[in-house]
Amino acid sequence: MRENVLVELKESQSPQHVRVNAIKSFLAQFLRNNGARLGLLTLAFFVVLAAVPGVLVGPLQTAASATGDFLTAPSREHLLGTDDVGRDVINLVVHGSRISLTIALVSTIISLLVGTTVGLTAGYFGRWVDIWLMRLTDFFFVIPSFVLALVITPVVLQHMGRGGTIIGLRPSLMVIIIVIGLTSWAFVARIVRSQTLSLRERQFVERAKVVGTGNLKIMVSHLLPNLVPQIAANGAIVVAGAIYTETALSFLGLGDPLQPSWGTLLSLAQRAGAASSGAWWYLGAPGLCVLIVSLAFVMIGNALDDTFNPRRRAIP
């Protein structure tokens, strides 16, 4: 009798109810991870900074609106000191968070879209499609994305120019976003391909083919939902890599001083001789932000991987 009641309860659950329970179970398991909680809290803090920098520290200071003296040490008036023209460093860092996070997140979206498309197509169709797409992937995988970005960015900037704005960002920053996104997808493509090779042999794919479902619908409706956990877990790692790449490119002078990111601030500090002058706050503040945010995304990515992968949870 009890078994019959349990069977009836299971059968009475709608697919939507099952999906909601699965999401609740995932969130409970994910939030039990200490790294996930710490990463989310850290990321939430920086997201708030990026969302309303004007409310928190006022408009972005310029040389004309600077309120301090040359490389003043941290004080009550300037909690993180000032830069070489008297601008408040905390003002620059908070405004830079919006630029750095926007570049990292948008470039990661581009990278995930390209990598998922290439990996899914190669793994599903196989044969010559797989061969050619994987040779292309190997090229981008072997050559570091930073080196490709360093070579491509100045060339594209020269043709596009630096005037105007695109979705609120100057062209120089949009070029960095596109270049990072188009040069860092190989890692995602390899992972998606390997998972697709396994999934395409499952019975649900064979059933879909038997009933006449098209290849595109099978890929999007049947395979892609099963790939989301791996894409999400590795996407967090890709964000951390995008932050480092953007910081390095901006540090080498490819950023935009009118919309400074953390990398641009590091570049300006280096040009002002902050290290030799002992102005540790000018270099330390943006550098520490880059490190903390990158670690937060890495912790979130590892927590997602642990949650989605039962084998990793079983390892003591």
Q: Where are the domains of the chain?
A: 47-57+89-123+130-192+231-314
How far is the C-alpha of 182 from the C-alpha of 229, rounded, in Å?
A: 22
pLDDT of 206 over the 60 cut: yes
What pLDDT sits at residue 288? 92
Exposed / middle / buried, residue 203 (Cβ in 10 Å: 0-12, 13-18, 19+): exposed
What pLDDT sits at residue 292? 93
What pLDDT sits at residue 290? 92
H helix count then E strand count, the chain: 16, 0
The answer to whether the predicted template modeling score (pTM) of the entire model surpasses 0.85 is no
**Could you identify the residue written with the tokens 């619908």?**
217
How far from chain centre, in Å, is Cα 135? Answer: 25
What pLDDT sits at residue 109? 92
Q: Within 13 Å and on the Cβ side, how many CA atoms surround 262?
A: 29
Tens-place pLDDT, residues 194-203: 888 888 888 8
Angle subtended by helix axes 34-51 and 15-31, to nearest 10: 100
- The CATH code of the domain at 47-57+89-123+130-192+231-314 is 1.10.3720
Tens-place pLDDT, residues 241-295: 889 888 888 888 777 778 888 988 998 888 888 888 888 888 888 999 999 999 9
Please, which pLDDT band fits residue 41 given cuts at 50, 70 and 90? very high
What pLDDT sits at residue 20? 67
pLDDT of 237 over the 80 cut: yes
How far is the C-alpha of 316 from the C-alpha of 312, rounded, in Å?
A: 9
* 8-state DSSP, 191: H
pLDDT of 12 over the 70 cut: no
Average pLDDT, the chain: 81
What pLDDT sits at residue 2? 46
Buried b (16+ CB within 10 A) or exposed e, 23-41: eeeeeebbeebebbeebbe
pLDDT of 113 over the 90 cut: yes
